[in-house]
Chain A
Amino acid sequence: MRSRLLIAIALLNLASLVHCMRVTDGIEVDVAYQPKATPAQIRTDMGYRVALERALIVLGKVELIRCDNFVADLRGLLAPARARAHVLDTPTSLGVPLIIDLMESAGTPEFAGTMKPPPGRYCGLRVLGMPADQDAEGLTDETLDMMQNSVLIAGQVEDESTGEETPLLARIWEVLDCEVRFDRPLVFDSPVLESVSIQIDHTSWFDGIDFALQDSNAVQQQITENVRSSLQAVLPLAEADL
């Protein structure tokens, strides 16, 4: 009986030795932000030169939009967005806010994360600009004021015709709901690694503004609209075509 007890105990011990794990990757979408390099001066379409001293944006959430649900998702876009502590990542969204200092960007992409969406057709991205929270990536002593702002711009504006210089300060605190469409649908029906980059063209943020005639509120409103329209989703094939 003793030997059989020993066998039973040995079997119990054997159970603790079994260990192995095999992982098969599924559909994955790497997302990166790609701001344009910041020139020393930005020439606007209204004849001004903008020399930036600070330019920061906080992107709080990125979400894939299904083609099938595009109308429903657009309806969601129309609903007022609310700023809140960042939500956890989901298979179709990234929820960790990222502070991007556009003065330091030299056209290099900043990795935002990897989404793991279910099979389907995806036609675009919803990008949310919002004030940073405590967990935001890139939050430092120098960027603390981004906890109250979605976008912060400071610099000098020079009128090319008169040479007159005026200071520029824009603080956008509202949540910026931006929807960007792909130039072709992303179709996933089997495991694959895809990548999407979100280009930020902040050299267009001051277009359509007549700094000499418009008051600061109107300037800020136009910049807000320009920030929204400056985002573009680029797929690898489209990048190659360029």
Chain B
Amino acid sequence: MAALVAPLWIAAEVSACGTCSVGDPTLTIVGFEQPKANRVRTSATLRHRNDSIGETEVDKLTLSEQRMELAGAYSPTDRVSLSLMMPVVHRLISEVNLAEASIWAPGDLDFRVRGVIWRDRKFAPRHLVSLIGGLEFPTSSIEYDANGVPLPLEFQAGTGSWDPIAGAAYTMFSDPWSVYVSSVAIFPTTGIADTRASNSFRQTALGQYQPWSFLGFQVGVEFRIDGPGYIGGVRDPNTGGHITYGTLGLVGLPHDKVVMHVTAALPLIQRLDGTHTEGFAFTAGLVYEI
């Protein structure tokens, strides 16, 4: 919680308009913004999601996850933005035999580079096309059972693997409207317990209407398609498939340098392989413009 309010506290003594520095009043969260030389942003985001794997009364495992993601983004030039995100993960796993495991642990550090490869004009561009590259580092701790054997991936805060990331994004700013579209693919390598998480392709399309300088409304679609995951070279039957979420969100400016955002995501189409269901997800966060 301290980390979540830290951006507010840090912002207490500042007054300049952060979004104005890039010549565009659009409120953006970290990763969606326009790069601007020496622009520095930090953020704290809380995420909640539910997941269930396996058959009811047979081998069902339910997962409730809360993540606090602490992130920072820095733009050394007008075209490049670097970001680091470190999650702290809480997982409550309930097994079919009424056993429970509660885990607090650091997740995998996420580093990304976003480079603008085309923009329609230098100052206050309305159209940006970017390439995204990155890497997830195996910084998560590894949880073991009583015999010293690593627990399955569901009990881990991260994959514990080096996961390259590649993608592209398009952003349109046309006050009071903005659109953000991104396609990102993650290619996990083998990590904890000889497990290789699924290759994953994620498509985001987000529209934002900002009738006032201090408040905007978001509506979007997030699509994810996963390949099969493997445990010790054997396919995990409850991995793979695709899912589409519909999202609704609010983004506000409670302070000149602080952006606040809230998003609810509801699965609209689930075609996940095996017996795997994802539930409602919720995100809330603060962004501070240094």
Which of A's residues lie within 8 Å of B, judged by CB? Answer: 1, 4-5, 7-9, 11-12, 14-28, 90-92, 116-120, 190-191
Contacts and interface: CB of A to CB of B under 8 A. Distances in A.
Interface residues of B, number: 32
13 contacts: A14-B3, A16-B106, A19-B105, A19-B106, A19-B141, A23-B102, A24-B99, A27-B97, A27-B99, A91-B58, A91-B97, A118-B96, A118-B97
Interface stretch (B83-91, B169-177, B211-219, B274-282): B83-91
Given A4-B10, A23-B100, A11 B95 contact: no
Given A21-B102, A21-B105, A90-B59, A15 B96 contact: no
Given A25-B99, A91-B59, A116-B95, A18 B10 contact: no
Contacts of A16: 86, 106, 139
Contacts of A26: 95, 97-100
A159 B52 CA distance: 63
Contacts of A5: 40, 290
A91 B139 CA distance: 31
Contacts of B42: 8
A92 B96 CA distance: 10
A91 B42 CA distance: 44
A20 B290 CA distance: 33
A15 B95 contact: no
Given A21-B143, A22-B102, A23-B101, 9 more contacts: A4-B10, A8-B290, A12-B84, A15-B70, A19-B104, A26-B95, A90-B58, A91-B58, A119-B97
Interface string B71-113: 0100000000000101110000001111111111110000000
Contacts of B59: 90-91
Contacts of A15: 3, 68, 70, 86-88, 106
B11 to A, nearest CB: 9
Nearest to B44: A11
A92 B58 contact: yes
A92 B60 CA distance: 12
Contacts of B102: 21-23
Interface in B251-290: 290
A154 B25 CA distance: 88
B206 interface: no
A210 to B, nearest CB: 46
Nearest to A13: B86
B6 A11 contact: yes
Given A7-B10, A12-B84, A118-B58, A22 B96 contact: no
B6 A28 contact: no
